[in-house]
Structure 1
Amino acid sequence: MEPLIAVTARCEIRAVIRFLHAKKLQPVEIHRQLSKIYGETCISIQHVCKWCREFSEGRTDIHDEKRSGRPSISDEVVAKIERTKHLNRRRAISIDKEGNTHRGHHMLYITWTDLLGIVSILPTDEVERLLLHGSIQ
């Protein structure tokens, strides 16, 4: 059976949960009603319980709380990168945190990401491919 409402916003679902919770419905019944209207893609029973608990504890906002997200690059970090770029690249980039010298593209990427405060999760061969094609500079 096709859902009556196919596309929804998170805050819309939460508003419905808040309304039905205020009417003293149990989370299971709230989920049952949501499933009838929104179909199989609606919020899980666990999330309905979570939101009922949040509303019981006094939460009134149905929107997501602000999160830090991906860290932004400050002017200070940009200046630090610019200073490092103007140094002898091979010497400046091939020294790790312990002072050991290394050669290779993966060390270049790791050092630059350390400078930016980003943790690399790419495999070494992928990093080397990106470096050789100029995707990472």
Structure 2
Amino acid sequence: MEGSIEQRYAIKFCVRLGKNATETYSMLREAFKDDCISRSQSGRWYKAFSVGRTKVVDEQRSGRPTTARTDANVERVQKLLDIDRRLGIRQIADTLDISTFAVHGIITQDLAMRMVCAKLVQKVLTQEQKDLRVLRCQELSELIESDPDLMNTVVTGDESWMFEYDPETKRQSSEWHNQTSPRQKKARMSKNRIKAMLIVFFNVRSVVHFEFIPEGTTVTAKVYLEVLKRLKRRVARVRPDIKDNLRLHHDNAPSHTAFLVTDYLARCQTPVVPHIFLIDKEFSFKFLNMYQIS
């Protein structure tokens, strides 16, 4: 800035000496070398001094300030965001009559804020539900401390919709053929449009029992009761070590908490482990792939 003021004095001096604009710029180039102002800027100041201008400093310009990122505007933006955190930059700029560039600078630099999307979770819990889960965890922890073999006796289960897949691999479909017989064709494994409801029960070792619900049938209390009866018989055959102290764990679906089911479990003296977390709906698929259940 000081070099520019100095050159303006030189231009004013050249005007007083009667030099023209070209001569003036040539003398500036010779005197200031690479620090010389541009030809157009030299011409503007030469014309201004020629018509009677005396000041070499810039005049005070009217209009909005060079920057809108003032403390007052930062406070205004903060108050607006406190009311609604989802406002966009353009909405804030239109509301406060500030440029979008200034609003973006205030939010990202002065307020150190950034737009963050909501995190998707399986379920938003109330404080009461959270406290209940903590209580259930403490109870289970105490039970496991008193009986280390507790988890071996727990059988958990859930229902889930499944798409039908062709489980046979290319290697499994191989056959013996002679040189003249046509080669067998097999399509790639793909998901079928047909869906089926699957119920799976498992413990810490492996799958204990699974069955598909017939098409057109929903899992009512009566259907679930029959499934539990078959589960009891299955446990007696494949898990005889836990048949007398079996503990069942399932979620709080209406068919699971119906009177028919709870009454049957009470008569069979089968305790229900308190439900804490929802069973992952993909868990059945993982077990199906692990044990190649078809």
Structure 2 residue 58 is the aligned partner of structure 1 residue 64: yes
The CA deviation at 1:20 is 1.1
Q: Helix, strand or coil: the match of 2:40?
A: helix
Check whether the contact 1:27–1:45 (CA below 8 A) recurs between aligned residues: no
Check whether the contact 1:73–1:116 (CA below 8 A) recurs between aligned residues: no
Note closer, same or farther for the CA distance 1:111–1:54 as it changes in structure 2 (3 Å cut): same
- C-alpha distance after superposition, 1:8-65 (max 9, x if no partner): 6211100010011111111111111111111134122322221111012221111122
- C-alpha distance after superposition, 1:97-137 (max 9, x if no partner): xxxxxxxxxxx23333443611339xxxxx7xx96xx8445
TM-score (norm 1): 0.59
* Structure 2: segments with no counterpart, 5+ residues: 115-294
* Structure 1: segments with no counterpart, 5+ residues: 1-6, 94-107, 122-126
Which structure shows the bigger proportion of residues in strand conformation? 2
Check whether the contact 1:110–1:120 (CA below 8 A) recurs between aligned residues: no
Check whether the contact 1:17–1:30 (CA below 8 A) recurs between aligned residues: yes
**Structure 2 counterparts to residues 4-83 of structure 1, below 5 A:** 9-67=3-61, 68-71=65-68, 73=70, 75=72, 77=73, 80-83=76-79
Aligned partner letter, 2:68? P
Separation in 2 of the partners of 1:56 and 1:8? 22
Aligned partner letter, 2:34? E
Note closer, same or farther for the CA distance 1:8–1:27 as it changes in structure 2 (3 Å cut): same
Structure 2 residue 112 is the aligned partner of structure 1 residue 118: no
Q: Helix, strand or coil: the match of 2:100?
A: coil
Separation in 1 of the partners of 2:22 and 2:101? 42
Report 1 or 2 for greater relative contact order, CA contacts < 8 Å, sequence distance ≥ 6: 1
Note closer, same or farther for the CA distance 1:16–1:88 as it changes in structure 2 (3 Å cut): closer
Note closer, same or farther for the CA distance 1:88–1:40 as it changes in structure 2 (3 Å cut): closer
Q: Helix, strand or coil: the match of 1:89?
A: coil
Which structure shows the bigger proportion of residues in helix conformation? 1
Separation in 2 of the partners of 1:43 and 1:83? 45
TM-score (norm 2): 0.30
Aligned residue-pair number: 105
What is the aligned-residue identity percentage?
A: 22
Q: Helix, strand or coil: the match of 1:9?
A: helix
Residue in 2 aligned with 1:109? 89
Separation in 1 of the partners of 2:80 and 2:19? 61
